Amino acid sequence: MDRIRIRGGNKLNGVIPISGAKNAALPLMIASLLTSDTLTLENVPHLADVEQLLRILGNHGVDVMVNGRRESQTESYSRTIQFTCRTIVDTTAPYDLVSKMRASFWVIGPLLARAGTARVSLPGGCAIGTRPVDLFLEGLQALGAQIEIDGGYVNATAPDGGLVGGHYTFPKVSVGATHVLMMAATLANGTTVIDNAAREPEVVDLADCLIAMGARISGAGTSTITVEGVTSLHGARHRVLPDRIETGTYAMAVAMTGGDVTLEGTRADLLENALDALRMSGAEITETESGLRVVRNGNGIQPVDVVTEPFPGFPTDLQAQFMALMTRSSGVSHITETIFENRFMHVQELARLGARISLSGQMARIEGVDRLRGAPVMATDLRASVSLVIAGLAAEGETMVNRVYHLDRGFERLEEKLTRCGAEVERVSD
């Protein structure tokens, strides 16, 4: 099993290209099930989660061409991929595929909308909380779907004539459920209104792609999305938006280590709240023609309190990285996690590097220390794993991050990007 070895202490200087967003690419890929025409997606990152979803879509009958070649011939860079699903050949998403990645459950919406039936295994993914599928199923039931759970599978059928427009209010904001309900509603008969919808940029990106495919959607980016169903969707070409979590992660790495890095190909509007927190910590962040420039000033890292919230609030997917940064602050900071109930598993691993962190319910109290020291640590989930990399970049000596398959799920060419900016980071294979 691969590991990441880091020798800390180097400042980061140079340019880091920001890849396409994993959290946008996955629902965009799933949208290919909604049409028999070809959907072409540009700027798709090469990640383990993307490769897993390609296998799942292939199981349903989606033909995949990468940069004009078959998937087996791809390079490990962001790519242009063509998805063509002439016919849905299988409406079952089996356990051995779906259990490995939660987002694969989202195929239930397009399968139900286009084929009228779906049998999808209950999902897997990072162990950061229960994340039940109730909201997905209740939303689909509002469109007339009949649903039962049997043997670990969700069996869903649409009424004769297909799904029908409906009105559903999410009891709490859910990005994944918003994706699913919006996709399903595009082919429903009548108008669907989704209240308390997620406002994340990835939801807007999916809506933009669906509109290019012929869907009638308004309100994406607000808490109320309206979808007027159409009889069919057609092909389109769409570019995946930049990864705001990758952007924030590398910005925090620069703030942690010092240096001057341009994050190329990204946008500030995707994560303003996180950038504001970074500025308060002492980082200088400016927009440039090519992206964002991040510079750590000479005054050290200042303590900042944050609370994770749905967009446009501070992202839960940057909580672990920001905690790593706060371990070197000049005072006490607090991080409150309001999205997932089990997302502090990285705390004990940061403590192995010398961090002083105490937990009280969903709040972490971080007392900044003068230095961290390298140690072997264990990645527990995707975002926690990269927080250990950030800490390791600033730690004295060597840090070895184990179970880095989590990193491969969400960060494209991480070692290469950091090494090009002066970090000592290498992958070690047993």
**Chunked mean pLDDT (size 10), the chain, 430 residues:** 94 96 97 98 94 95 80 58 98 88 92 97 55 86 95 93 97 95 98 98 98 98 98 98 97 97 97 98 96 90 97 96 98 94 86 97 96 94 88 97 88 94 93
Is 173 marked as binding a ligand? yes
Nearest Cα residue to 352 out of 331, 323, 326, 378: 378
Is 180 marked as binding a ligand? no
3-18+242-428 and 22-239 share one fold: yes
Is 102 marked as binding a ligand? yes
For residue 124, the model assigns a pLDDT of 54
**Distance in angstroms (rounded) separating the CA atoms of residues 113 and 305:** 44
Catalytically annotated residue among 85, 126, 209, 421: 126
Find the helix packing angle between 108-115 and 134-142, rounded to 10°: 20
For residue 398, the model assigns a pLDDT of 98
**Distance in angstroms (rounded) separating the CA atoms of residues 79 and 325:** 32
Q: Please check whether residue 344 is in contact with residue 337, taking contact to mean a CB–CB distance below 8 angstroms.
A: yes
Is 172 marked as binding a ligand? yes
Is 163 marked as binding a ligand? no
Is 133 marked as binding a ligand? yes
Of 3.65.10.10, 1.10.3720.10, 3.40.228.10, 1.10.10.10, the CATH number of 22-239 is 3.65.10.10
Is 132 marked as binding a ligand? yes
For residue 13, the model assigns a pLDDT of 97
Nearest Cα residue to 365 out of 344, 396, 380, 379: 344
For residue 72, the model assigns a pLDDT of 43
> What pairs with residue 216 in β-bridges?
228
Q: Compute the residue count for the chain.
A: 430
**What tokens were used for 116?**
């009228």
For residue 130, the model assigns a pLDDT of 44
Is 356 marked as binding a ligand? no
Is 23 marked as binding a ligand? yes
Question: What is the pTM assigned to this prediction?
Answer: 0.94
Nearest Cα residue to 202 out of 172, 188, 226, 182: 182
Which DSSP string do the residues of 92-153 spell out, in sequence order?
EE-HHHHTT-GGGGGGHHHHHHHHSEEEEEPP----SS---SHHHHHHHHHTT-EEEEETTE
- Domain residue ranges in the chain: 3-18+242-428, 22-239
- Superfamily designation of domain 3-18+242-428: Enolpyruvate transferase domain (3.65.10.10)
Is 417 marked as binding a ligand? no
**Distance in angstroms (rounded) separating the CA atoms of residues 220 and 225:** 5
**Distance in angstroms (rounded) separating the CA atoms of residues 171 and 76:** 40
Question: Is 209 known to be catalytic?
Answer: no
| Phi and psi torsions of 29, nearest 5° | -65, -40
